[in-house]
Structure 1
Amino acid sequence: MIDALIAGRLYGIAEQRTGHAGSSYVTCKVKAMTDDGDGIICNVIAFNDVVREALLGLEDGASVSLSGALTPKVWTDKQGNARPALDLVAHSILTLSQSASE
């Protein structure tokens, strides 16, 4: 796990879900650009109430910065190429309209 700050654009919209124990959380995807101009998708999950509400208030394509626990991963596409992926448990958020944290 890495303590990270990522910045990018919301890819799709955030979705609220409920866990087995009845706890609420929000999931979304953020597309961050790399140095070579390619994008990398970061899978985000947020349990914090303030961060959840902020994510739910954003539209597809909204600029966002998130900090939290980052786990790098690798997946294989249909052509057999290894691709990077990121999973982030978001603790804080900064958008153009607001900033919020735990």
Structure 2
Amino acid sequence: MIDTLISGRLRGAPSFRTASNGTPFASFRMAAADRNGVSVLCSCITFSATACAAVKALEDGDSLAVSGEAELKTWNGSDGAQRLGLDVLVHCVMTAYHQGRKRKSAGNDAAGGDDHG
């Protein structure tokens, strides 16, 4: 297990289901670039209600960052070439929407007031 923080773009629509024990979860894929600019596919799953809600608001191509536990994965592509990827058990999702809310909140805190007049 590798603790990870990955930023990238959502690829495709997330899938929302319920496990056999009744726990709701989301699975989705994201693409992140390595240091050479090569796209690495990350297969993500989350059982966190807040992470599920964050992913539900996203569309294909939207930027996001996830933190969680990663495991390296390899497979052979249709052309026979070896591919690399990550399986990620996501604990937390951050999007541009969340970052904007945090900045707005920090600005209000710095001013010593709130939105309620």
TM-score relative to the length of structure 2:
0.81
**What letter corresponds to residue 24 of structure 1 in structure 2?**
P
Q: SS of the counterpart of 2:51?
A: helix
**What letter corresponds to residue 14 of structure 1 in structure 2?**
P
Give the match for residue 11 of structure 1.
11
Q: Which moved more, 1:45-54 or 1:29-38?
A: 29-38
Q: Structure with the greater relative contact order (CA < 8 A, sep ≥ 6): 1 or 2?
A: 1
Q: Mind listing any 5+ residue stretches in structure 1 that lack a counterpart?
A: none
Deviation per residue, 1:34-59 (Å, 9 max, x gap): 12221011000010000011001111
Shift of 1:79: 2.1
Q: How many residues align?
A: 99
2: CA distance, partners of 1:61 / 1:10: 5
1: CA distance, partners of 2:25 / 2:47: 5
Structure-to-structure mapping, 1:1-102, within 5 angstroms: 1-98=1-98
**What letter corresponds to residue 65 of structure 2 in structure 1?**
S
Larger C-alpha radius of gyration, 1 or 2?
2
Q: Alignment identity in percent?
A: 33
Q: Which has the higher strand share?
A: 1
Q: After the TM superposition, which segments of 4 or more aligned residues of structure 1 sit over 4 Å from their partners? A: none
Q: Which has the higher helix share?
A: 2
Q: Give me the CA root mean square deviation.
A: 1.0
TM-score relative to the length of structure 1:
0.92
Q: SS of the counterpart of 2:3?
A: strand
